[in-house]
Amino acid sequence: MSRRSSQTGLSGKAAERLRPLLESFLASTDARSRIAFDPVEFPHRYSDPRDIETSALLAAALAYGRADLFRPKVDGLLRRMGSSPAAFLRELDVAGARELLSGFVYRFNVGTDVAVLLLGMGKALREHGSLEALFVRGWEAHGSIHGALSDFTAALRDVPMAELRRALGKERGLHHLLPSPLGAGAAKRLNLYLRWMVRGPDAVDFGIWKRVPASALVIPLDTHIGRISQHLGLTRRKDLSWRTAEEVTASLRRLDEADPVRYDFALCHYGMSGVCPAKPVAENCVKCQLLPSCAVGPRITRARASSSGP
């Protein structure tokens, strides 16, 4: 799938109205305080780029469901890997994966699923030197994030499955953890991983992958970003598909062509924190800096005018 311009996204005039509001919103967001509520907290433990990229992919892959449930799983695995996850993975074999992951279960995933990811990362480090180099191979071949991610996940899954199944049992949710082929879904967690690696560096994102431009990134589309994007006119689509993610990103490129996903962290946490919930809360809406460009705005204004009486 290639990048394409939005057909029903943000117009030029709407972009001019929204841009200063989003810039002010972004400037007022205390990103550092929100890192503790985000899976990006795990790669922030490390300084070496190889440790950052490997711990980040593990964290992003398991970052679904409730944070209080996946955080202990990621934390436990990283602690058992020692001070350098990359060094651990370079040496990891099937026997080591069995020792690390025997009995592991997290929702859809069992130890075999995670073992594929870890062994795949170790193979990439040995053969290419970094996960970045493996991803860039697909990026240069396809020129699109979707194509590059498809090649990336396929390469990571190229591990000795028969031996792994004998050691840990059959996989259960491997496609959920590491989708291949990528398909029509938004691939939120993979796009989140790319955002961490490519854009920045700033308080949240690392910017350690220099060979992929931030302008090419696709927004990590989840329920929070999907809802807020509809409110702000970034898309009319209601599904959480790759096409919707592309449309939202195309709208955001009207605001910042070089770095369209720079608003993602602030907007996502605005929804995650409960300040902008699925059912609008008038007291929150009237304080929101984005209200003048929000589709909820007129309804909130009318409701308040009606409640205040003549």
Predicted local confidence at residue 309, as pLDDT: 53
Assess whether 226 and 271 both reside in one domain.
Answer: yes
249 in the Ramachandran plot: left (φ > 0), alpha (ψ -120 to 50) or beta?
A: alpha
Separation CA 226–CA 308 (nearest Å):
32
Assess whether 104 and 10 both reside in one domain.
Answer: no
Q: Which two tokens stand for residue 51?
A: 């440790």
Assess whether 145 and 69 both reside in one domain.
Answer: yes
Assess whether 167 and 258 both reside in one domain.
Answer: no
Q: Which structural domain range is residue 139 located in?
A: 38-183
For the chain, what is the radius of gyration of the CA atoms?
21
Predicted local confidence at residue 1, as pLDDT: 43
Assess whether 49 and 117 both reside in one domain.
Answer: yes
Predicted local confidence at residue 5, as pLDDT: 40
Contact 181, 154 (CB under 8 A): yes
Instruction: Pick the last residue of a domain from 183, 203, 228.
Output: 183
Spans of the chain below 70 pLDDT: 1-8, 301-310
Torsion 234-235-239-240 (CA) sign: negative
Predicted local confidence at residue 229, as pLDDT: 97
Assess whether 46 and 179 both reside in one domain.
Answer: yes
Assess whether 170 and 271 both reside in one domain.
Answer: no
Assess whether 70 and 49 both reside in one domain.
Answer: yes
Predicted local confidence at residue 205, as pLDDT: 98
Q: What is the pTM of this model?
A: 0.94
